[in-house]
Amino acid sequence: MSEKFDVDAPTLSRYVMANTKDTELVILLNSLATSFKLIASAVGRAGVAQLYGLAGEVNSTGDDQKKLDVMSNDMMINALVNSGVCSVLVSEENEEPIIVPADKAGKFCVAFDPLDGSSNIDCNVSVGTIFSVYEKKDGSVNDLLRSGADCICAGYCAYSSAVELVFTFQGSSVEGFCLDPTIGEFVHTRVNMKFPSDGGKRIYSCNEGNFVHWDQPIKDAVDAFKNGVGGKPYSARYVGSMVADIHRTLLYGGIYIYPADNKSPKGKLRCLYEGIPMALIIEQAGGIASTGLFNGKVGRVIELTPDAIHCKCPIIMGGPRDVGVVYDCYKKHGVAVPEL
């Protein structure tokens, strides 16, 4: 048999079944994977299919909707509603939660950003999907307004030169799957993903256009990265698509910073379907997912409890080496920080 053909491909379904023995969870991940394949196809054909440009509407958080935003949202909603295992859905593109009809309802609640970074889609920059999963309690939106400690599964899918799905179950490892277009399946390619033990590459990632609005410890930390920590300046890398920036940070090391500031005192990223799922992935890969100074203290993103489905939170994510630099700057200003 040719070595070019894998007769025993380690697929997504096999991994989920082997590690959870939960057939409904297999159905859920398969439904998500189907929507990711559809979105990947739409993103790949965006130019020839004339899918660039605005749809003429704004989403729940006031951002202009792109044509691909609307299409990706519909793809995910249709896949999840018809999976038979979901009861409540929350999307960045919908102001109100979606309650699945009783005859199709199941035990999971899913929050998602169907196309993160879509403001970059017209210039062909990497985009992605982010999701978090909770178990149903009473079948209302309150099932999703819970701490990240109750999130049972979180992940993202990056659409670029390859289509990569990265996800984790609560209390488990972080695993990576790559879409094999020859068989149409996500195949297990990155096992037990971890931050580089030495901190990895010296990279800081943030929107420095907001520098003037940051608190002083964040300014000090970014200046320290630029001027050299341990004698060597860091490189700046900022894509502006959270999935792309976090994926690079997870693989290469470094730090991603999107703090609260004078302009956005609650931060800019959405807690339920951006902050919490990415925090669960980062922490279970051996990293730190901090809020920075938020609501009077420096805490963990995973411990936040959303008070609304589209509420926001600040984010500082990276390995202990680099988040420690930020924490040291807070300490110099008399702010208590958690132990690394």
Which active-site residues does the annotation give? Answer: 63, 69, 92-93, 113, 115-116, 274
In a 10 Å sphere around its CB, with 0-12 CB exposed, 13-18 middle and 19+ buried, how is residue 245 labelled?
A: buried
Cβ atoms of 249 and 236 closer than 8 Å: no
Q: Cα separation of 337 and 324, whole Å?
A: 10
- Residues 90, 105: Cα–Cα separation, whole Å: 15
Q: How far apart are CA 206 and CA 303, in angstroms?
A: 23
What radius of gyration do the chain's Cα atoms show? 20
Please choose, from the candidates 293, 276, 290, the residue with its C-alpha nearest in 3D space to the C-alpha of residue 219.
293
Residue 131 · residue 32 · CB < 8 Å: yes
- Taking the C-alpha atoms of residue 276 and residue 111, their distance in angstroms, rounded to an integer, is 10
CA atoms of 165 and 202, how far apart (whole Å): 25
Backbone angle region of 192, left / alpha / beta, with phi > 0 → left and psi within -120 to 50 → alpha: left
Cβ(256)–Cβ(234) below 8 Å: no
Chain Cα centroid distance, residue 82: 24
From the centroid of its chain, how far is CA 305?
Answer: 17
Greatest CA span in the chain, whole angstroms?
66
DSSP, collapsed to helix, strand or coil, labels residue 136 as coil
Q: How crowded is residue 191: how many other Cβ atoms within 10 Å of its Cβ? A: 11
- Matching residue, tokens 């984010």: 315
